[in-house]
Amino acid sequence: MTDPNPLYGDACEDCGTYDVLPESALRDGAHGITAGYRCPNCRHTWTCGWQIVPGRAIPPEPTADSPLFDRDVTAQVHEQSAINRARKHLSREDGTA
Ligand SMILES: [Zn+2]
Protein backbone atom coordinates (compact mmCIF):
# COMPACT_ATOMS: atom_id res chain seq x y z
CA MET A 1 0.00 0.00 0.00
CA THR A 2 1.30 3.43 -0.87
CA ASP A 3 1.06 6.21 1.65
CA PRO A 4 -0.73 9.07 -0.13
CA ASN A 5 0.99 11.65 2.05
CA PRO A 6 4.35 10.26 3.19
CA LEU A 7 5.79 13.60 4.31
CA TYR A 8 2.89 15.22 6.17
CA GLY A 9 2.22 17.64 3.34
CA ASP A 10 -0.57 20.19 3.75
CA ALA A 11 -2.34 22.70 1.53
CA CYS A 12 -1.95 26.47 1.81
CA GLU A 13 -5.30 27.98 2.67
CA ASP A 14 -4.29 31.40 1.36
CA CYS A 15 -3.40 30.53 -2.23
CA GLY A 16 -4.40 26.87 -2.53
CA THR A 17 -0.95 25.41 -3.17
CA TYR A 18 -1.05 21.66 -2.52
CA ASP A 19 1.58 19.45 -0.94
CA VAL A 20 3.48 22.11 0.95
CA LEU A 21 5.94 20.11 3.03
CA PRO A 22 6.59 20.90 6.68
CA GLU A 23 9.71 22.88 7.39
CA SER A 24 9.99 21.61 10.95
CA ALA A 25 8.02 19.85 13.66
CA LEU A 26 8.00 19.28 17.39
CA ARG A 27 6.97 16.01 18.99
CA ASP A 28 3.66 16.39 20.72
CA GLY A 29 3.47 13.64 23.29
CA ALA A 30 4.12 10.05 22.24
CA HIS A 31 1.82 9.93 19.24
CA GLY A 32 1.65 13.35 17.66
CA ILE A 33 3.61 16.15 16.07
CA THR A 34 2.99 19.83 15.50
CA ALA A 35 4.35 20.65 12.06
CA GLY A 36 5.16 24.11 10.73
CA TYR A 37 4.71 25.19 7.11
CA ARG A 38 5.67 28.11 4.92
CA CYS A 39 4.04 28.39 1.53
CA PRO A 40 6.66 28.68 -1.24
CA ASN A 41 4.28 30.79 -3.33
CA CYS A 42 2.69 33.32 -0.99
CA ARG A 43 4.89 32.85 2.12
CA HIS A 44 1.87 32.24 4.32
CA THR A 45 2.89 30.36 7.48
CA TRP A 46 0.83 27.95 9.53
CA THR A 47 0.93 24.89 11.75
CA CYS A 48 -0.86 21.56 11.62
CA GLY A 49 -1.19 18.85 14.24
CA TRP A 50 -0.75 15.23 13.10
CA GLN A 51 -0.96 11.81 14.58
CA ILE A 52 2.37 10.14 13.87
CA VAL A 53 1.99 7.59 11.08
CA PRO A 54 4.49 4.72 11.28
CA GLY A 55 6.92 4.79 8.36
CA ARG A 56 6.63 8.49 7.69
CA ALA A 57 9.68 10.67 8.10
CA ILE A 58 9.22 13.12 10.93
CA PRO A 59 10.36 16.65 10.02
CA PRO A 60 13.39 18.04 11.87
CA GLU A 61 13.01 19.90 15.14
CA PRO A 62 13.52 23.62 14.66
CA THR A 63 16.50 25.26 16.32
CA ALA A 64 16.33 28.95 17.10
CA ASP A 65 19.64 29.97 15.56
CA SER A 66 19.62 27.82 12.41
CA PRO A 67 19.15 29.63 9.08
CA LEU A 68 17.38 26.51 7.79
CA PHE A 69 14.26 27.44 9.69
CA ASP A 70 12.01 30.41 9.18
CA ARG A 71 11.63 32.36 12.42
CA ASP A 72 7.90 32.85 12.06
CA VAL A 73 7.32 29.16 11.41
CA THR A 74 9.51 28.15 14.33
CA ALA A 75 7.71 30.54 16.67
CA GLN A 76 4.32 29.23 15.56
CA VAL A 77 5.37 25.61 16.00
CA HIS A 78 6.60 26.28 19.52
CA GLU A 79 3.50 28.26 20.42
CA GLN A 80 1.05 25.70 19.04
CA SER A 81 2.92 22.83 20.64
CA ALA A 82 2.76 24.59 24.02
CA ILE A 83 -0.97 25.17 23.58
CA ASN A 84 -1.47 21.49 22.79
CA ARG A 85 0.47 20.43 25.87
CA ALA A 86 -1.53 22.83 28.05
CA ARG A 87 -4.81 21.50 26.67
CA LYS A 88 -3.82 17.91 27.34
CA HIS A 89 -2.71 18.81 30.82
CA LEU A 90 -6.01 20.54 31.59
CA SER A 91 -8.17 17.77 30.17
CA ARG A 92 -6.24 15.20 32.17
CA GLU A 93 -6.82 17.14 35.36
CA ASP A 94 -10.56 17.40 35.01
CA GLY A 95 -10.92 13.80 33.94
CA THR A 96 -12.31 14.30 30.45
CA ALA A 97 -9.35 12.81 28.54
ZN1 LIG B 1 0.15 30.06 -0.28
pLDDT in tens, 53-94: 999 999 999 987 888 899 999 999 999 999 988 887 777 665
- 14, 32, 49, 70, 97 from 52: Cα distances, Å: 26, 5, 9, 23, 19
Ligand 1 centroid, distance to 17 Cα (angstroms): 6
Ligand 1 centroid, distance to 55 Cα (angstroms): 28
CB 23 within 8 A of CB 50: no
CB 77 within 8 A of CB 20: no
- pTM surpassing 0.75? yes
Torsion (CA) 38, 31, 2, 12 in degrees, nearest 10: -20
Ligand 1 centroid, distance to 14 Cα (angstroms): 5
Ligand 1 centroid, distance to 37 Cα (angstroms): 10
| Tens of pLDDT, residues 16-64 | 999 999 999 999 888 999 999 999 999 999 999 999 999 999 999 998 7
